[in-house]
Homo-oligomer: A and B are copies of this chain.
């Protein structure tokens, strides 16, 4: 299996081979392939597993009251989706769709929830799982912080600041302009417009999805 991918995931990083085999068994790991465009779940039905993307990419959508659909998350190799829903056993309000051919490792949480006693390895795995949940909360917090801003400029500054804090002044983002606009909760063309302004004012520089922020970036 793609070990380099699994190492990136909080759940499995740093495990010995034996531990990893035990972990797979504990989570009932099952690997499945999907073609581009395939749906990975059914809406209104609980997710029986959560997913770890091994290759390709999936999107998590949600339908709107008036039929529009909205991207809730884009999930890339090494990342997971559906842990919270799966753990709570709630009916899925979202649908999950492969945007490229994709391989998914499906993992069940039954034994986390029902086991009367856990081995040390299993306890470690539970801790990893809880860590994933907590990390997810913090990531969502970052996004809420961005979405709460009322101007596109403020959203961008916040967005870039978050990246700069982690990766320094130059970084690339995992979005094309459309996904970026969705993530920021705004319109693609309006986003383009504001990016151009920021570049013209010398506050940032960019080419495609590679960005560089300059010193003294502040709210306009």
State the CA gap A138–B70 with chains docked (Å): 16
A45 close to chain B: CB less than 8 A:
no
Q: B72–A145 contact, CB under 8 A?
A: yes
Chain B contacts for A130, CB-based, 8 A: 87, 112, 126, 129-130, 133
State the Cβ distance, A118 to closest chain B Cβ, in Å: 7
CA distance A34 to B34 in the complex (A): 54
Count copies of this chain in the complex.
2
Contact with B along A171-211 (1 / 0, CB 8 A): 00000000000100111000000000000000000000000
A62 to B52, CA, bound (A): 32
**Contact present for B65 and A150 (CB under 8 Å):** no
Which residues of A does B touch, CB under 8 Å? 62, 64-66, 70, 72, 83-85, 87-88, 90, 112-113, 115-118, 120, 123, 126-127, 129-131, 133-138, 140-141, 143-145, 147-150, 157-158, 161, 182, 185-187, 217-219
